[in-house]
Amino acid sequence: MVDPRKRQTRKKQQSITSKATVSVEMWRFYLMWGVVLFCFIALVGRAFYVQIVNHDFLQNKANAKILRTDTVKAMRGVIYDRHGVPLAISTPIMKIVIDPRDYFDAKKLYDETSAELVKNPNDRKLKRQLPDKNLNLDELADAVGMDRAELRKKMNERPRSRYLILKKEVPPQQADLILEREFQAVYTEKYYKRYYPQPQPNAQIIGLTNSEGMGIEGLEMQLNSRLAGKDGEQQVIRDKRGNRVKDPEIIKEVESGENITLSIDSRLQYIMYRELTAAGVANNARSATAITVDVKTGEILAMASWPSYNPNDKKGLGNKDAMRNRGAVDSFEPGSTMKPITISMALESGKFTANSVINTTPGSMRVGNHTIRDTHNYGALTLGGIIQKSSNVGVAKIALSLPYSTLPTFYKRVGFGERSAVKFPGESAGLILPKNKWNVSEVATMAYGYGLNATVLQLADAYAMIANKGKKMPLSLYKLEEHPKGEQMIDPKIADQVLLMMEAVTLPGGTARQADIPGYRVAGKTGTAHKLRADRKGYSQSDYRALFAGMAPVSDPRLAMVVVVENPKGQYYGGLVAAPVFARVMQESLRLMNVPLDKPLDAPKIQ
């Protein structure tokens, strides 16, 4: 028999062993669930990190592989003349671009896959991995017109670049032919090239754009924000072979530039440039400039300078002198063309009338350290006679008979010494001397156009004011839908009196017989100004500036025009050099604008 005490001991041992087993199993159970819970939490945490915390970074990395954001260039606005003739337009043009990194990745894949196919020529999976685009750089170079070695050199110098321009200014049709050959990583970008249909006559007004389409000269620069528009953006999704997966998605709409209509009449502009060119060449001059203004509205109908340049030819932009809009930028001593302004001041003062007589004998006068001279001794002259004969002595005596401040103050009031309403880029304000310089010598010389600087714009503005019965219309380079109110600068009666005095300049006995136009009464004033020497020590005895400023028809003035010819050789008087240009341009301008004749046409001479 078994001892009951041993049986009891065995039961205790069995009981102890049983409890230990259960404890171990529970520990394993908890460990397993702990591991599972930890993994679950880790997965949830990772998912949270990926989906929420690091979402943007990873999304951007993914997009970088398949997405490309392309800029959609805005079309620059068109610049028109007043009749809707385009003077500056943008035409679509293409760039041929390659992605070197994409190309070399595809080339590497092709080489590795081709090597594997040599070992396993029947492996269809490998065949499907081969890039299906053209990887031949020599063919690509030939297609875009590049040297083969040069293309390879550029590609090898920038193997990780994403952007390499192969060729610019490719016509769309030619670009399409290149794309049809399916070169690897090659694509096109559309942009716009500026083109000027009437280049030389309008170049200095309109200006030009650079290779990026930004205005850098003239109105192209001044109006750049309005003309440029706003570029758009589109997203393109491509696979690893560079194939487009779906159509581009527009993410920012493109906004085309604003169209601008100028006051310029391209017909008158062409005529003016043609005549300035002819006069400049015939007189071997340095330059020739002219401006025509509609006196009723202040609109500038033509503004041209010779020599000019062709903004379509970017290789011919070396002559910066030819690129200046001289009518606005250059200021100079206007000489005798200021005399009608001085006479207007005299009449306004009340001290003089149209019948007042000034004794100019003996044809010269001493003022300070200077002697003022006329070309002849004209004796006693009325105010009209002073303008007709262009007497320096006469206007100097008038100016000095009034307080010294009267003349320069009047000049400033009518627009000299400040920029015109045009505000053209680089426009000069001219120069009226400060008050502390208004002494006897300066006032006397200012009376006949020396000792002050003016622009062609300012002269045209002043003559248009006189022609418009003393009412000044702000000059404008843009076509106006409504006539501006204007500002009455001088009494209409005074303006009419001065206008009739200037008509005598173009009649027998005047200094500008060659400004006469068949069928139209013409008023104006010549100017022949000595130019300052280069060292600014006195005036040159060989360099002149020939001017003529006038308006027509006198019975109801419609146009005012100023012509300036710099450094003519041979004959140099304004009546011989500038007046004929005025006559030819004004005659054709009045005809094209259907302005009625205001005097009988001369009967043809019988041979």
Catalytic residues: 336
Q: Which residue has the tokens 């303006």?
A: 495
Within 54-199, strands assigned E span 67-72, 79-80, 86-98, 164-170, 186-195
CA distances from 299 to 93, 204, 306, 422, 549 (A): 35, 17, 22, 10, 17
Secondary structure (3-state) at 357: strand
Question: Which of 392, 398, 390 has its CA nearest to residue 365?
Answer: 392
Burial of residue 532 (CB within 10 Å: 0-12, 13-18, 19+) is middle
CB atoms within 10 A of CB 228: 21
What length does the chain have?
607
**Kind of pairing, strands 249-252 and 232-237?**
antiparallel
Q: How far is CA 375 from CA 52, 362, 364, 372, 392, in A?
A: 93, 11, 9, 10, 9
Answer yes or no: are the C-beta atoms of 513 and 575 closer than 8 Å. Answer: yes
Query: CA 121 to CA 181: how far, in whole Å?
Result: 27
Place of tokens 């002050």: 452
Pull the structure tokens for residue 5: 């005490």
Pairing, β 260-261 against β 79-80? parallel
* 8 Å CB contact between 189 and 97: yes
Is the distance from CB of 586 to CB of 562 less than 8 angstroms? no
CB 550 within 8 A of CB 337: no
Using a 10 angstrom Cβ sphere, with 0-12 exposed, 13-18 middle and 19 or more buried, the burial of residue 247 is: exposed
CA angle, 161 then 162 then 164, to 5°: 80
Hunting for tokens 């027998």 — which residue is that? Answer: 508
SS3 495: helix
Structure tokens at 122: 């029947």
Number of H helices, E strands in the chain: 20, 19
The residue among 81, 420, 425, 73 whose CA lies nearest residue 220 is 425
8 Å CB contact between 355 and 347: no
CA 6 – CA 253 distance, rounded (Å): 98
